[in-house]
């Protein structure tokens, strides 16, 4: 062992280099980079067309016309809001939305309630019920059109086989709207069912157990436990369905083409005619904007109600 008298050399800890400006992105920059493709897509595909349509809605622009567009102020909006034709389509749309969404809510919740009470086969049943929702509305419209055909359709065959009179499902004013509601209900009841089922399975089991101990009736448990806890979720599902139903186009186009006459012509179908038959692009843009405003206003009122419900 060698000893030295030299003072021990203190090893100098290297000081960290001064913080330099790095070319690497910070968290915020990275976040911006990641969301920018989606933002650009949103801007290009949603925001820009919306703003462009808003601009066109104040003009008399026609997509096919060679004539330049002229600024017309609120003339398009005034024309739409005072038009008896639009009022008639609005009423048709309202009847359809109320009829379809009510029926879907009742059926959807009922099916979900029944499924939630089952211990076995719940997954399979849910999957089977979801099948209509996975189909394209155009395909649904086409095969229902065949099924509802007054002469060759399977529905009338069933009716006549049990001694009932065949029905002109798609060509009578009284039945055409009912047919639309039934077909839409067939396809979209599963959506309500799915949301309701999620709410029903989330209800804590101990609440039911406590109610059982108190010998509460089935109806009491449903009214005081199940319904209050599922209700807010159900209302959100109803809102989504109502918005979807409000802009119904495809089923009308395939099943009735708005007929007989214009008795099943919804607002969206009417916008389509204004935009693509008459190519009154400015009017159609104003029409579309007004529909959006209606949806937003109604949704806001609805959400306020939901919020109040939750606070209460």
Partner 1 sequence: MRSERRAGRRSLPVRQARLATTAVAAAVATATVLGACGGGGGTAEAGGATAPASVPELTDEPLTLSFIWFEWPPAQALEDFANAEYTTERPNVTVEVNTVPNANWHDAMFTQFAARQTDFDIAILDSQHIGEAVTNGNIVELTEFIEGNIETDAFDPYLLAAYGQYPQAETGKRDESASMYGLPLLGDTWTMIYRKDLIGDEPPQTWDEMIAVAEQCQADNPGVSGLAFHQANGSDAAAVTYNTVNGLYGGNLWDAASRQIDGVLNDEAGHRAMDVLVNEMKPLTAAGSGNWFIDEVNAAVAQGKACIAFNWIAASGGLLDPEQSTLGATREEILDTLGFATLPTQETDLVPLGGMGMHVSAYAAAEHQAEALNFMKWFLQEDTQKKWAAAGGVPSRTDALESPEFLEAGPFNQVYADSVSRMRDMWNVPEYARLVDIENTSVNAALNGAMDPREALDTIAVEQQQILDSSGSGGL
Q: How far is the CB of 260 from partner 1 (least distance, A)?
A: 3
Exactly one of 109, 144, 268, 269 binds partner 1 (CB under 8 A); which one?
Answer: 268
What's the distance, Cα to Cα, between the start and end of the chain in Å?
85
Q: How far is the CB of 19 from partner 1 (least distance, A)?
A: 36
Q: Which is nearer to partner 1, 144 or 287 (CB)?
A: 287
Q: What is the C-alpha to C-alpha distance for residues 254 and 178, in angstroms, rounded to an integer?
A: 15
Q: How buried is residue 79: exposed, middle or buried, by Cβ count under 10 Å (0-12/13-18/19+)?
A: middle
Q: Which is nearer to partner 1, 33 or 43 (CB)?
A: 43
Choices 11-19, 77-85, 187-195, 216-224; region in contact with partner 1 by CB under 8 A: 77-85
Q: What is the C-alpha to C-alpha distance for residues 292 and 300, in angstroms, rounded to an integer?
A: 12
Interactions with partner 1, residue window 21-60 (CB under 8 A) = 45-47, 49-50, 52-53, 55-56, 59-60
Contact map string, positions 148 to 187, toward partner 1, x by CB under 8 A = -xxxx-------------x-xxxxxx--------------
Q: What is the C-alpha to C-alpha distance for residues 120 and 64, in angstroms, rounded to an integer?
A: 60
Interactions with partner 1, residue window 188-227 (CB under 8 A) = none
Which residue is it, tokens 């395939």? 254
Q: How far is the CB of 213 from partner 1 (least distance, A)?
A: 31
Q: How buried is residue 251: exposed, middle or buried, by Cβ count under 10 Å (0-12/13-18/19+)?
A: buried
CB within 8 A of 295, min separation 6: which ones?
A: 243, 246, 247
CB within 8 A of 99, min separation 6: which ones?
A: 177, 181
Exactly one of 35, 39, 85, 135 binds partner 1 (CB under 8 A); which one?
Answer: 85
Exactly one of 95, 227, 231, 273 binds partner 1 (CB under 8 A); which one?
Answer: 273
The verdict on 80 binding partner 1 (CB under 8 A) reads yes
Q: Are 183 and 248 in contact (CB under 8 A)?
A: no
Choices 102-110, 123-131, 208-216, 263-271; region in contact with partner 1 by CB under 8 A: 263-271
DSSP state of 213: H
The verdict on 256 binding partner 1 (CB under 8 A) reads yes
Q: Which is nearer to partner 1, 85 or 210 (CB)?
A: 85
């Amino acid at each position: 062992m060698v000893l030295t008298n030299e003072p021990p050399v203190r090893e100098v800890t290297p000081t960290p280099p001064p913080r330099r400006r790095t070319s690497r992105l910070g968290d915020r920059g990275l976040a911006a980079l990641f969301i920018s493709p989606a933002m650009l897509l949103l801007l290009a595909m949603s925001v820009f067309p919306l703003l462009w349509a808003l601009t066109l809605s104040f003009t008399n622009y026609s997509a096919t016309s060679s004539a330049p567009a002229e600024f017309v102020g609120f003339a398009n909006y005034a024309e739409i809001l005072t038009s008896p034709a639009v009022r008639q389509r609005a009423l048709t749309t309202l009847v359809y939305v109320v009829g379809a969404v009510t029926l879907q809510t009742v059926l959807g919740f009922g099916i979900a309630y029944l499924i939630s009470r089952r211990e076995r086969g719940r997954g399979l049943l849910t999957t089977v019920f979801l099948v209509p929702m996975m189909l394209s509305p155009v395909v649904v419209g086409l095969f229902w059109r065949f099924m509802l055909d007054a002469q060759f359709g399977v529905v009338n065959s069933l009716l006549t086989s049990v001694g009932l009179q065949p029905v002109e499902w798609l060509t009578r004013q009284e039945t055409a709207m009912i047919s639309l509601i039934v077909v839409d209900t067939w396809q979209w009841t599963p959506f309500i069912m799915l949301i309701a089922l999620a709410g029903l399975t989330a209800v804590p089991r101990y609440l039911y157990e406590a109610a059982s101990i108190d010998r509460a009736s089935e109806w009491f448990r449903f009214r005081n436990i199940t319904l209050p806890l599922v209700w807010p979720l159900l209302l959100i599902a109803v809102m989504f369905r109502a918005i979807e139903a409000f802009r119904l186009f495809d089923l009308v186009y395939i099943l009735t083409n708005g007929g007989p006459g214009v008795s099943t012509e919804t607002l969206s179908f009417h916008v389509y005619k204004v935009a693509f038959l008459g190519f009154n692009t400015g009017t159609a843009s104003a029409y579309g904007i007004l529909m959006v405003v209606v949806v937003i206003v109604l949704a806001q009122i609805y959400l306020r109600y939901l919020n109040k419900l939750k606070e209460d």
